[in-house]
Structure formats: C-alpha cells, structure tokens
Amino acid sequence: MNTKQKFLCINPTPIAIGVGMIILKTRPGFSPVSTGIMSHVKIWIHTVWGTKNHERVLTKDVRQQLFQHVRENAKEKQIYIDFINGDLDHIHCLLALFDHHG
C-alpha cells in the first residue's frame, strides 16, 4: 500500500472533539462585563482522528507526513497548533481558534 492509499484510510470524522478551555482577555483597565468589549478570544480544541476500522497503518513515516499536512492546512487557515501526536491508528491535535475565525 503506498502512502497516498494509507492517507485515504484516515476516517475524516473526528472520534471526539472537546472544547478544553476558553480564555478571554481584555485590555488593562477594561472590564468585559461593564463595557461589553472583548478584545481577544481564544478557544482551545482537542481533536482525535482515527483510521477507518482502527487499522494500524500510521507508521512513524506516515504519521510525520500526516502531521506536516495538518500543520500546512492549519497555517493556511491561521489556526494555531500547539501539539500534535499519535499512534498507529489515531492522532491527537491541540489547536486554538481565535476571534477572527468567527
């Protein structure tokens, strides 16, 4: 099976997506409650993607190519990836969305 075929085995539907933390920050001296102003919003999301039928096809080389592919797509969409890792049948990614993604 070539690399392209292995990538096609990835199930595009996330197994689990959880919003881990919402961080709200404002400029010093301003209260978002009293002024209704939000100057910065960041939402952390932990995603897990698994291979179809949990096939153990994500060898180290394939995972590295897959991680690079995910990073390139995230960069194009201005999505910050804090951490990405995985095993033979799944990958984890911790990413952040900012207020400009809304």
- What digits encode the pLDDT tens for the residues 18-54? 444 444 444 455 444 555 555 667 888 999 999 999 9
Q: Could you list the residue range(s) of the whole structural domain that residue 88 is in?
A: 3-101
Of 4-8, 33-37, 87-91, 92-96, the poorest mean pLDDT is in 4-8
Q: Which of these, 101, 65, 50, lies nearest to 80 by C-alpha position? A: 101
- CATH number, domain of 64, equals 3.30.70
Are the beta carbons of 8 and 15 closer than 8 angstroms? no
* pLDDT of 14 strictly over 50: no
| 51, burial (CB in 10 Å: exposed 0-12, middle 13-18, buried 19+) | buried
pLDDT number for residue 37: 56
Neighbours of 52 (CB within 10 A): 13
Based on the structure, what is the number of domains in the chain?
A: 1
Give the distance between the most distant pair of CA atoms in the chain: 60
pLDDT number for residue 38: 56
The pTM of the full predicted model, rounded to 2 decimals, is 0.60
